[in-house]
Structure 1
Amino acid sequence: MRTNKLRTLGGVFGLAILGLAPVTAKAETLADALKSAYVNSGLLEQNRALLRSADENVAQAVASLRPIIDWTSGITLDSSDTRSQGANRNNTSTSLNLGITGSLLVYDFGRSDFLTESAKETVLATRQTLISVEQFVLLTGVQAYMNVIRNQEFVDLRQNNLRLLREELRAAQDRFEVGEVTRTDVAQAESAVALAQSGLAAAQGDLTRAIEEFREAIGRDPGSLQTPSELPQLGENVDAAKAAALRRHPDLLQAQHNVAAAELNIRAAEAALLPTLNLTARVGASEELDGSDMSRTGSLGVEMRGPIYRGGRLTSQQRQAMAQRDAQLALLHLAGLQVKQDVGDSYANLRAARASRTASREAVRAAQVAFDGTREEATLGARTTLDVLDAEQDLLDARANLISANADVVIAAYSVLASIGELTARDLNLGVQTYDPAAYYELVKDAPIESSPQGQKLDRVLRALGKN
């Protein structure tokens, strides 16, 4: 549907009609900002840690299929009193006990395997959650970037408007001095200047807030920003976009993996009602601390154990697993509906933003013509000062609407990508080193111990992450 999502994120800054200064070659592009957002995001780092936690669940499930070996030690004090033939005897002994016990699950009707596969499905679901968070981070970065540009252009527009109104005020005062206008005309110009000053202060406050939002979303202060000159190429077929979203949107894929995990949990709960077969072994030694006696023991056996009565706990867990599966199925259905709705909404917003931009361009052109004509007519005495001020306000409003429309088009275009599931660092070709969600999983999936080569490699990875 989309052959090239992002040809160029750079562009030229501002609109010619706004009279803004041209940007320098060192201006920052949207791609630069999104790279920083991806690298600096604490939210992404948090969810990467949650993914590593989910990876460890697989390791723990795998470990349950391996031998369990424990050591025991203890000191036992034995004391006894006996009475024989009228005589009392007191016997006291202290012994040291050492032992090693081991057990190995031989067969449990697949319960451990089901739990392992369920943990793997949860890992896959968590990976999709990470992609969803990545999309949120990047879309928030786009919004923060465009809001800084929007509010900076508002400030420039207000400053230019205030300059023009001050010129109008001086002209009105000069005409009043020669008797061409009344004091009312001067007061109207003074009011307009005061309102423009108020509007400029409000615009500067909005810019300050936009910069704060940029700092939070991108992780640093904004530089000189370029307005993107080219947008992602998007198909116009909404139905095709919805079909693509149903195939790849992370929210939907996450729900699918959660359903698969819930199904496996049901089978594990059913297997818990059946017996388990275990191989057991024990070796030990006991020695009296006074050195009078010493013994060694050892045993090897096969044990089958199964539930008879657990107070209804096992059947309750089975019903609970079924209810959780039903809930996940409902969430899958809702996720599909939400994804399709989001695609439709994002395309509608994009069409509306484009239409608004087109209309605003025409409004600016017409308002400029009207303002120029009104001002010219005022010099000939055919228009009043109020007419000029009204025309100036109409032009200001038209230009402000065009600024917002331009920013809204960019945000809406990237919102379409997010609704389809294609707003990721890899899809945008940002050229930043992306996080590999499978790298940590490959290290821990076999539950390595610290002394193994794989465990030592894992330890180095943890130190690099600053987690150990």
Structure 2
Amino acid sequence: MGPRPDAPAASAVVPPPAWRTALGEGSPIRADWWSAFGDPVLTSLVSRALGSNVDLAAAVARIDEARAAARLARAQQTPTLGGAVPGTTGQTVSPFGTPSDAFGAQPALTASYDLDLFGRLRAASRAAQAQALASEGARDTVRLAIASGVASNYITLRALDQRLAVAQQTLAARAEALRIARRRAETGYTSNLELHQAEAEYRATQQLVPAAELAISRQENALSLLLGASPGPIPRGLPLDRLLSPAIPDGLPADLLRRRPDLFQAEQTLVAADRTLDSARAAMLPNLALTGSAGVVLSTALANPIGVFSIGASVLSPIFDGGRLRAQNDVAVARRDQAAYAYRRTALVAFQEVDNALAGVQRSGEQAVALERQVDALAAALRNASNRYRAGYTSYIEQLDAQRGLLTAELALVQARADRITAYVALYQAMGGGWSPADVTATQR
């Protein structure tokens, strides 16, 4: 039998040092962390999803199955009682040779009980209970994933709405530029080159509108699936640039990760594997069972009923099974080791996800600030280029370059803002669903 691998708690893995640096101050984040973005429509959508999502309903059904299995395992430790009332009919012959009909019955109550000397049944019961807890962790994992999925998809939807608005506004500006270029070409003030350039730029912007509308339709359908509903329109709330950016408290202790449902699930799966191994080892040892029965013989051929009873015990011990029990033990050992490694990997993945989310919040925020300044600069450059073009000081290509640069920067700014809010969602999910100052204080003691 190989050595058992280590199965450390989440806090035993060294967290990144940046976790304990000050990243901001603000109001505490509540359990319904999605409300921290300040959009009541988002809050309503998450509530709907948690109430009607089919994946969550399936997870609840798996919990019912695991709890029933745990009750069945506990029932194996209790005595088994049974009863029977067999009846017989026949004939009796008197000493004088006279036959007569007779009816008889023998009601009996039987009982059996496994003493479970080496804890085989108790270990199996504890394994079933741990598996039921693991199924609850799986349900909470699905619940957290659904809430995060709705929030992320809603943020993406609002980003697509803003991309559509940018495309429509740019298209209107391109239409005005095309009108001016056509008028100047018709009057002979400029060549047809500028007219064709303006028309090409207008058509290039025009195709962005149906592409954005198609992406919005698909995003609404994805949200409808999370809501457990048929495809259809999704209500809107605050625009993307008005969603709040919740503050992150000073330092995020690694022990907060123990609240992650997937880590709890992995821990309980390891416990269940341990108990299953104990049960497999106990199955190799002798087993003592007690049996007994008591009843009464009733018959029309008897003057009085006759009471009968029996009691006994049996010892069962494997002598030769072709290596079946040893193979079952080896299977249990391998599964226990797999669960231990899976638990450790789950902890390491948790640290990775939190660190990625923290970096995403910080870096995407810096990117958004830089893009906002770039958009302001390009908007000013476009105004200057347009004035110079209309005054006849420069060619149309200068205004065209400024328009292209501004459109690219505006779309990039929309994406950066969406990435920043989505990074908050990823952080909440990685931390098991938010935190509060009391949580931070309690884990730092």
TM superposition score category, shorter chain reference: 0.7 to 0.9
Corresponding residue SS for 1:29: helix
Higher mean C-alpha displacement, 191-200 vs 298-307: 298-307
Q: Give the equivalent residue in structure 2 for 1:64.
A: 76
Whether 2:382 is the aligned partner of 1:371: answer: yes
Question: Match of 2:237, as an amino acid?
Answer: L
Q: Give the equivalent residue in structure 2 for 1:128.
A: 137
* Contact 1:285 1:297 (8 Å CA) reproduced: yes
- 1:193-220 per-position Cα deviation (integer Å, ceiling 9, x unaligned): 2112211111111111111112112345
Q: Give the equivalent residue in structure 2 for 1:5.
A: 29
* Contact 2:37 2:245 (8 Å CA) reproduced: no
Q: CA deviation at 1:133?
A: 1.1
Whether 2:212 is the aligned partner of 1:203: answer: yes
Whether 2:109 is the aligned partner of 1:109: answer: no
Corresponding residue SS for 2:115: strand
* Contact 1:235 1:241 (8 Å CA) reproduced: no
CA distance 1:196–1:101, change in 2 (3 Å): same
Match of 2:53 among 41, 55, 67: 41
Q: CA deviation at 1:345?
A: 1.5
Q: Give the equivalent residue in structure 2 for 1:32.
A: 44
Higher mean C-alpha displacement, 93-102 vs 130-139: 93-102
Number of residues paired by the alignment? 392
Distance 1:219 1:58 in 2: 30
Gaps of 5+ in 1: 12-26, 79-92, 428-468
Q: CA deviation at 1:412?
A: 0.5
* Contact 1:148 1:211 (8 Å CA) reproduced: yes
Paired residues for 1:57-456 under 5 Å: 57-72=69-84, 99-219=108-228, 221-226=233-238, 227=240, 229-235=243-249, 237=251, 240-245=252-257, 247-283=258-294, 298-311=308-321, 312-423=323-434
- 1:369-394 per-position Cα deviation (integer Å, ceiling 9, x unaligned): 11111101101112222322221121
Gaps of 5+ in 2: 1-19, 91-101, 438-445
Distance 2:135 2:423 in 1: 27
Distance 2:301 2:395 in 1: 122
CA distance 1:189–1:222, change in 2 (3 Å): same
Distance 1:334 1:260 in 2: 16
CA distance 1:31–1:156, change in 2 (3 Å): same
Question: Match of 1:113, as an amino acid?
Answer: R
Question: Match of 2:360, as an amino acid?
Answer: N
Distance 2:279 2:40 in 1: 54
Distance 2:430 2:86 in 1: 63
Question: Match of 1:321, as an amino acid?
Answer: A
CA distance 1:175–1:393, change in 2 (3 Å): same
Question: Match of 1:119, as an amino acid?
Answer: A
* Contact 2:297 2:308 (8 Å CA) reproduced: no
CA distance 1:345–1:236, change in 2 (3 Å): farther
Distance 1:34 1:374 in 2: 46
Higher mean C-alpha displacement, 301-310 vs 168-177: 301-310
* Contact 2:290 2:313 (8 Å CA) reproduced: yes
CA distance 1:286–1:302, change in 2 (3 Å): closer
CA distance 1:181–1:286, change in 2 (3 Å): farther
CA distance 1:423–1:34, change in 2 (3 Å): farther
- 1:306-344 per-position Cα deviation (integer Å, ceiling 9, x unaligned): 213241222222222222111111111211211111111
Question: Superposition RMSD on alpha carbons, in Å?
Answer: 2.9
* Contact 1:105 1:278 (8 Å CA) reproduced: yes
Q: CA deviation at 1:354?
A: 1.1
